[in-house]
Amino acid sequence: MDAELDTLLSRGTTALGLAVSSQQQAQLLAYLALLCKWNQAYNLTAVRDPAAMVTRHLLDSLAVAPWLHGSFCIDVGTGAGLPGVPLAIMFPEREFHLLDSNGKKTRFLFQVKTGLALPNITIHQTRVEAFRPVRRFDVVLSRAFASLADMVAATRHLLQPQGVLLAMKGACPDDEIAALAGDYRVQGVHPLSVPGLDEQRHLVELSLAATDILNPH
pLDDT the model gives residue 213:
43
Which residues of the chain carry a pLDDT beneath 70? 1, 210-217
Looking at residue 40, its pLDDT comes to 80
Measuring CA to CA, how many Å separate 138 from each of 95, 166, 177, 210?
10, 11, 21, 16
pLDDT given for residue 30 in this prediction: 97
Helix (H) or strand (E) segment spanning residue 10: helix 2-15
Give the per-residue pLDDT at 26.
97
pLDDT score recorded for residue 217: 46
- pLDDT value of residue 216: 46
At 214 the pLDDT is 41
| Radius of gyration of the CA atoms of the chain, in A | 17
In angstroms, rounded to a whole number, what is the distance separating the alpha carbons of residues 53 and 62?
13
153 and 128 in contact (C-beta within 8 Å)?
A: no
Label residue 55 exposed, middle or buried (CB < 10 Å: 0-12, 13-18, 19+): buried
What residue segments make up the domains of the chain, in order of their start?
2-214
For 200, the enclosing helix (H) or strand (E) is none
Q: Would you give the distance in Å from CA 69 to the centre of its chain?
A: 13
* Assigned fold of 2-214: Rossmann fold (3.40.50)
Separation between Cα atoms, residue 137 and residue 70, nearest integer Å: 9
What is the reported pLDDT for 44? 84
pLDDT of residue 205: 97
Q: Give the CA-trace dihedral at 49, 122, 150, 105, to 10 degrees.
A: 40
Strands 202-208 and 95-100: unpaired
